[in-house]
Amino acid sequence: MKLELKNNNLILTDVDSFSLRETFECGQAFRFYREEDGSYTPIHRGRVINLKETPDGVIVKNTDMDEFKEVWWDYFDFSTDYGAIKKHLSVDPIMEEAISYGEGIRILKQDYFETLISFIVSANNQIPRIKKIIEEMSKKYGRRIEVKEDVAGSDRDFYSFPNPEELSLSTADELREELRVGFRAERIWEVANKVRTGVFDINSLAGMTYEEGKEALMTLNGVGPKVANCVLLFGYSKTTAFPVDVWVKRIMEDLYFKKETPNKIIEDFGKEKFGDLSGYAQQYLFYYARER
């Protein structure tokens, strides 16, 4: 993976294991738009860029070399060798097949607080509605982001995801009535305020082991095993996490267990089998389950 400036365009070349579609559509992120020209527009840490795949590489708009290196390089996990990970996981023939469907998946490193709230919203919910709620939440409580460069001809406004202070200005009633989050309203408000006041130290999880982090997260109302695993994987890059959602459950039962199996058994089996690469394996399986 190389970053170059060509004809006044920022462009990623020697692209290795990176597909925009596979990376954004594998269920880990909610804050992106797929544009009509096939390009993608993610929002992260109060910034917006647009990425478009071309035969010459991936063209990146609305950023510069410094910002890309500082903010986006890490977000896309470009320092990790996915070729080695895929090779390792492919000793399992089932995984080899799953990986062939999503060779270009990368696990994003997203903001802790945003990831936490987003996956609380995701509980017993569907992706289009989750995306809509997160977008409305950002619009109402976040800040508007100035876009310098034309982003794929789009004229929409962009908003940063609210920080704990901003989201704490809400009330549970407001979240329920205006954002239509239903029974998740109290959970969201409560967690936002626990983070704001420091009752829950969200940064400290980065220095914890996977097990410690999971235990800490699950003390929060609205965070069960699935949500905790997602937050640890997509926020804190704890790749021993193996989130079991309905899709992973389905495909694991189909391919490995050959019968109905409790989520806990599936999660333990995945962690045992894939070890430090569990999170990657889970993403390949999730994408495979939805695409096959």
Partner DNA sequence: TGCCAGGGGTTCA
Partner DNA sequence: TGAACCCCTGGC
Sequence-distant (6+) residues with CB within 8 A of 87 are none
* Among 4, 183, 199, 211, interactor with DNA by CB under 7 A: 183
**Stretch binding DNA (CB under 7 A), from 11-19, 80-88, 142-150, 178-186:** 178-186
Q: Give 70's DSSP letter.
A: I
Contact criterion met (CB below 8 Å) for 256 and 269: yes
Other beta carbons within 10 Å of 197: 10
**Stretch binding DNA (CB under 7 A), from 72-80, 86-94, 121-129, 195-203:** 121-129
Choosing from 131, 214, 226, 238, which is the catalytic residue? 226
Q: Which two tokens stand for residue 146?
A: 């100035």
Distance of CA 227 to the CA centre of its chain: 12
Residue 243 near DNA by CB under 7 A:
yes
Count residues contacting DNA (CB under 7 A)? 38
Our CB check for DNA shows the closer of 50 and 122 to be: 122
CB of 268 to DNA, least distance (A): 14
- Residues 264-283 close enough to bind DNA by CB under 7 A: none
Q: How far apart are CA 290 and CA 248, in angstroms?
A: 9
Our CB check for DNA shows the closer of 10 and 241 to be: 241
* Among 175, 230, 232, 251, interactor with DNA by CB under 7 A: 230
Amino acid at 176: R
Q: Which of 40, 103, 104, 48 is nearest to 72 (CA)?
A: 48
Q: For 247, how many CA atoms within 13 A lie in the half-sphere containing its CB?
A: 16
CB of 123 to DNA, least distance (A): 4
Beta strands in 14-138 (DSSP E): 32-34, 40-44, 47-48, 50-54, 57-61
Residue 126 near DNA by CB under 7 A:
yes
Question: Is residue 226 flagged as an active site residue?
Answer: yes
Contact footprint for DNA (CB under 7 A): 26-30, 122-130, 176-177, 180-184, 218, 220-228, 230, 243, 245-248, 286
Catalytic residue numbers read 226
